[in-house]
Structure 1
C-alpha cells in the first residue's frame, strides 16, 4: 500500500513552499478570471499528480489525501488496473452512445452491479454519469413502476444538485439557496440521528419511524407514495449512521405498502464502509440501489440497479443519455471492481476504521469539543460542539481545524447540516503510515485550536 510519492521525512517537510505556491497562485488567478464563482475551491493548490494516498500539487507540495475527491478515488489515484483498461479502450474507440451502437463493457458493468448489490433476485442496471443523475432516474423508475407520484426523503439528506435531487436534499446553503422552485411531490421525514435525537439515542429508531409513518400515511398517503429514498449512512448530512433498525423498518414499510425503497449508496457503496454496500449492515435488500463516486476509479459513471420488474417498467428510450455508460468509464469501473475484489479492499476499509477509531478516540478523550466519533469503514467523522451539554454546533472551530490541516498538507473535508462535522474518506489503498501522519496533524490542530 505504500507509494513512491510518500514522504519518509517529518510531516512538515511534505510541503516545499507555503500554499498556494507560485504556480498554483498563477493558476488560481486564471481560474478567477475564467471559471464561474459558483464553482467553489477549497484549497488553491492545483493538482499535478496523485497515487494511493497522496496528491502532489504543481509546486511539488505533497498532501496526505483523507478525502479521495469525496469518496471517488477509492482504489487510489491512477490505479494500475483502471489505467490499463482505460488506455486499452482509448486505442479502440472513445464513444458511440450505448443507445446507438452498444458495447460489451456496459453489459459487463451491469452484470457486476447486479451481482454485487444486495439480494439474489433477478436484477437489471442502467448506467448514467453522476450520483444526482442516478437518483433522478431511480425516482423516474419508481414513479413509472408504481403509477404514484409522492417521494419521501429525510432530514439531513443529500442527493445531488440537479432540480429533483435538490428537492430531495435537505440543506439550503449552499445547495438550494436561490435555485427554486424545485420539483414537486417531495416530502421530508425526520432522520433517526442518534446524537441529536431529543429523547436520546435509544429511542431514536422507534420515534423517528413513527414520525415517518405518520407523515407517509396521514399526510402523503401510502397509496400516493411512489418511493422512499434513504442513505444507509448520510454523507453531506454529517456521516449520520441511522439508529439501529431504522433503515430496516423503512424498507419493511415500503414492502408492506407497495412503495419502492431506494438506497442511495452513491457515497457508501463500493467497499467504502467495509462491505460492498452499506445496506448489508442492516440486513436489508433495497428495491433500487444508486451508485456513483467510487464506482469507476475517478471517471464519471453512475448506476441504478434494482428488481427486474421495476427496472423494466420504463419504456425503451425512457432511460439513458448521450454519455451514460461511456466506454472509458465502464472499463475504469471493471478495473476498479477487480482492484477491490483482488485487493481485499472491503477488509482494508475495516482496518482503516480500527485505526481511525483509535486515533479519533484519543483526540476525543483530550477535547470535550468532540461531541461524537462515528462512521463505518473508511467513512469516519467527528462532530464538534461548543458545549458538550448543550451540543451547540461548533462550525467556526470546525473550519479552523480544517484549515490547519490543509495548511499542514492534509486534505480534510467538512460536512453536516450545521457545518460542524469533520469527515474522513481516505482511499482504501492508503498506507498505515500516511493515515498515522494525517491523524497526527489532526491531533496537533485540536491541541492548538480547541
Structure 2
C-alpha cells in the first residue's frame, strides 16, 4: 500500500514538471494527448506495471482506501494467528490486530475456531498501533451484533429459545449470544408468587440448563439492560401451536402429554403447546373423587382426543379409552340371579352405587335397599360398606347393572350356582389372599 502512495506522489511531481513542458509545446496539442504524455512521462520515465494497475484502480474508485472510523462494525478475514494476537484483513488496505486482552474475553471454544481464512466480526477500537495497524475487537463486535439482534427482536416481537445459565434474587439469567439476558420472576411461567426466598432460589436452581422461549421486552444498550419475558413468549408460542394443532389434529388421535395442573373437575394436559382437558370421568374406568388421587403434576400420560372445538379453542381428552374396558366381557363374569359381595361407593337420592370390581359399578335402587318396613332405606347403608347383593340385570351395551340388597338378605352368596368374584378368580388360576377373619376362625 505504501508503494501506491509513493507512486501517486511521484506522479504528482512528474505531472507538475511535465505540465510546464506541455505549455511550451503549443496549444495545438489536445488535452487527451497531454494527459497521455503526463501519465507516461517524458524523457523515457514510465510507471512500473504494478504501480500503474493500482493507480488505475484508484482513479476508477474500485477500492476503498479510506480508514474506517472508530466503533465501526465490520467483517474481516483472519490472515495470521500469532501466539498473542490475530491479524485480520477488513478490506481497508490496512490490516488490523486483535490483541491478547480481547481474546481473553472470549470463550475458549470460540477462540479455538479462529483460524486463518475464517470470517469474523470486528469493531475498530483504535485507529493505529505503532506498526501502523488498526486495533480491533472481536468481543465487542460479537456483543454489538447481539445488541442489534435484540433490538430487531424487540421491534418484530420475534420469539427465540434461550438457555438458562444462572439466576439472582430477581429472576433468571439466560444466554443471548455473547450477552446475558434477564427474565424477571414475574415473567417466569409456573413460578408461584407465594414462595419465600429459599423456595424461590431452589426453583431457580432447578431451572438452570433449561431452554425457554423468550420475547425481548426491553433493550437499553448504554445501561446494558436486556430484559426478556418467558410468560409472553409462552403465551404467543402456545397460541401458534394451538392453531397448528387444530389444523393438524383430528378426533381419535392418540398423543402423549404432560399433566400441567389439577382441578376438582379434571386435569389440564399439555399435548405439545396446547392444553387439553382430561375430565375426571375420563381419567379411568374406576370412579375418581379428585384427579390427584390418580395423577400428579408432571406425569407423562397417553391420551386420546375426544373433541376439538376450534371456535372456542377447547380440546377434550380421554385416558380411559386407552385402558382395557372391563365392560367388554362383563356378561362372562356376571349373570342375572347371581349373588355377590360388593362395596358401596356413594349414596344418592334414588339409591346407592356399589362397586363389583375396579371400573364396574351397579345401582341398588332405593326400593331394593331394604324391606318395605324400613322407613328410611337410604340410611341403612353408607359409603364403604360391604354388602351382599343379588344381580337383577346386566346391560353391557349401556354399561349398567341392577342390584338388590333386599332380595339377597339371608343368602351367603356361596352356593354352587352363585359364585363370588374370589371363587371366579380361583377358577382362572389367580392367587386369592385369604380373609383375615377366616384365618382367625381357622386358627381357633
State whether TM-score is above 0.5: no
Task: Name the structure with the higher helix share.
Answer: 1
Task: Name the structure with the higher strand share.
Answer: 2
Scaled by the length of structure 1, the TM-score of the pair is 0.20
Scaled by the length of structure 2, the TM-score of the pair is 0.20
- Is the radius of gyration larger for structure 1 or structure 2? 2
Q: Whose relative contact order is higher, 1 or 2, with alpha carbons under 8 Å and at least 6 apart?
A: 1
